[in-house]
Structure 1
Amino acid sequence: MKKIAKQRLKGVYFYSVIVCLVYMYIMGDLGRTIFGLVYKYTMSSLGTTFIIFGDWTSSIPTLGELLPKSNLTYIILGALYLVIILPVVASIKWFFLDVADGEKTSWRVITGVFTRTNYLRYFQASLLILIFVVCWTFLLFIFGLVKSYSYSQTFRLMRDNPDLGALEAITLSRNRMRGHKFNLFLLQLSFILWFIIPIGVQIAGIATGNQNLEVLAGFLYFAILIFIGPYYQTTNAVFYREEIRYAPL
């Protein structure tokens, strides 16, 4: 699947990097401002990178940091997250599904979620997944992780099946992911090998109290995420294409 992903990225890699930068930023920082640690551990169902090492966005001011700290600010950020960020996450999955299918893609794919026919469906699905995964996580973290994999194909299935409602798509994803969750987990886990060097640098920095090493580790994380972000997202889309799209119920 990784080999297929590499082939599909030829010619669209730079474009995909830009999409990934936007994606990682809004998923990796704005969300944490609102939801804290629960967000960090439950957003894998919405397509974030499997493990986020380091605070690589710490030097880039987010919307939450630019606005004054108040309850009203958090309410505004929460509303923006629910009505804009969640649907955008779904549409970015469309983008990389097009890449995996070898189709020509553009920014219109991402903004297409805000059309009259798409928005309500994807907003409902995003909100339901968030609620389900958070509830399972509060019950037990491992339950939330497993459920996040069960629901992980919802948006791609909705793209392929425009008549599917939000709850129907979630149910279909859960059914088709039976017997595939661990395979997807291993596929995503394989990307951790890219982070061996920055992990070592960060551990050395913490152990010695050397802040320069910790800063270097942050830059290494960021560089690697830029490099493998499109590769990771496209590999996930290829997994759907090869294993889930026509999987028996």
Structure 2
Amino acid sequence: MFERKKYKNFAVRQLKGRWTVVVLMTLLIEIVMFIFEIPNFYRMFNKESFQILMEYTSFDVNEFYTLYSDATSTTWASTLIRLIVSSIFTMAAIGVYLKMSHSPEKLSLKAFFEGLNNWWRAILTGVWRFLWVFLWSLLFIIPGIVKSLAYSQMFYLVNEFKDMSVTRSMKISKIITNGHKGDLFVMHLSFIGWGILATLSFGIGYFWLVPYMNMSFVNAYHSMLKEALDMGKLKPEDLQTNEQKI
């Protein structure tokens, strides 16, 4: 059974008295990711771009195409860099939330920085997941969304089970989300109201909303994994593999 309200209410109790570290962690991640976005902002809004747009009293398709090609020439490189950095941060942050879900003890930012040591597994997980979601998205946007939800538990699994390979985490993620992809999608939608309020606060509210969401989804992960084990979809030994593939 997927109990969305229960996961969210429990998240509030888990974060009580421990907001400082997750808010600071979220702030740090956002600052670094913003720095990586600066070159993209420059390419989009540099002086030449503004001049060309200002001079578009007569639309020149060829000139526009040249400008567009120049602006997107490094798109794949910048996308890969952002994917790598965000994957490393995601792994470290999830490590913190998992520790908070297992123990009521307060944590410091040291737990987050220690999680950065898992950078290699983080990159493999992020790139492998992105690759498959991208390939499914080529068929249509709906298959991409469905598979994104199916693979959504990979970071939790590789973080919690240190010997689990990335490829196996994908297989297990598909197993534990089977029958719950719609529940996960609705759970994402349930935060829209809070997202609007966070936006109205000039984005400041996101530093509290993001930890609240992450903690809620960690609780959902634990519940789905337990359900899969209880129903025999998974065996405990399936989580303790020494498989050393990707």
Q: What is the match of residue 126 of structure 1?
A: 126
| 2:27 alignment counterpart | 21
User: Following the alignment from structure 1 to structure 2, what is the Cα–Cα distance between the partners of residues 135 and 73?
Assistant: 20
> Larger deviation: 236-245 or 17-26?
17-26
Alpha-carbon offset, residue 88 of structure 1: 1.8
Gaps of 5+ in 2: 1-6, 47-69, 234-246
Question: Within the alignment, does 1:181 sit opposite 2:181 as a pair?
Answer: yes
The separation in 1 between residues aligned to 2:9 and 2:203, in whole angstroms, is 23
CA distance in 2, matches of 1:144, 1:187: 18
Quick one: distance in 2 between partners of 1:30 and 1:139?
A: 33
The residue number in structure 2 matching 1:5 is 11
Please state if 1:151 is matched with 2:130: no
Separation in structure 2 between the aligned mates of residue 93 and residue 18 of structure 1, nearest angstrom: 14
| 2:90 corresponds to 1:89 | yes
Shift of 1:19: 1.8
Query: Using a 3 Å threshold, how does the CA distance of structure 1 residues 24 and 232 change in structure 2: closer, same or farther?
Result: farther
Residues 23, 244 of structure 1: CA spacing in aligned structure 2 closer, same or farther, 3 A cutoff?
farther
How far 1:143 moved relative to its partner?
0.7
Deviations 1:147-189 (A, max 9, x none): 1111111111112211111111111111111012111222221
- How far, CA to CA, are the matches of 1:82 and 1:139 in structure 2? 22
Q: 1:12: Cα distance to partner?
A: 1.2
Deviation string 1:55-86 (CA, Å, 9 cap, x unpaired) is xxxxxxx3544699878976764553344332
- The verdict on how the C-alpha distance between 1:11 and 1:111 changes in structure 2, with shifts beyond 3 A counting, is same
- How far residue 131 of structure 1 moved from its aligned partner, in angstroms, is 0.7
- The one-letter code of the counterpart of 2:23 is V
| 2:220 equivalent to 1:239 | yes
Q: How does 1:170-209 map to 2 (within 5 A)?
A: 170-195=170-195
194 and 85 in structure 1: CA distance in 2 versus 1, 3 angstrom threshold: closer
Q: Are the aligned partners of 1:129 and 1:151 in contact in 2 as well (CA < 8 Å)?
A: yes
Return the letter of the residue paired with 2:223: E
Q: Deviations over 1:1-44 (max 9, x none)?
A: 111100110111122112223445566x678x5xxxxxxxxxxx
Percentage of pairs with the same residue: 22
TM-score, normalised via structure 2 length: 0.67
Change (3 A) 1:24 1:139: farther
Q: Which runs of 5+ in 1 are unaligned?
A: 34-61, 199-217
Distance 2:43 2:18 in 1: 35
Which residue in 1 is equivalent to 2:160? 160
Query: For 1:184-233, what per-residue CA distance to the aligned partner results, in whole angstroms no more than 9, with x for missing partners?
Result: 222221111224568xxxxxxxxxxxxxxxxxxx5435133233221111
Question: Higher mean Cα deviation, 65-74 or 124-133?
Answer: 65-74
Return the letter of the residue paired with 1:85. S
- RMSD across aligned C-alpha pairs, in angstroms? 3.1
Mean Cα displacement is larger for which, 222-231 or 3-12? Answer: 222-231
One-letter code aligned to 1:10: K
Counterpart of 1:106, as a letter, is: S
Q: Could you tell me how far apart the structure 2 residues matched to 1:227 and 1:93 are?
A: 15
8 Å CA contact retained: 1:23, 1:92? no
1:226 aligned to 2:232? no
User: Which is further off, 179-188 or 82-91?
Assistant: 82-91
Q: In the alignment, which residue of structure 2 is the partner of 1:203?
A: none
Change (3 A) 1:75 1:189: closer
> What is the distance in 1 between the residues matched to 2:103 and 2:197?
33
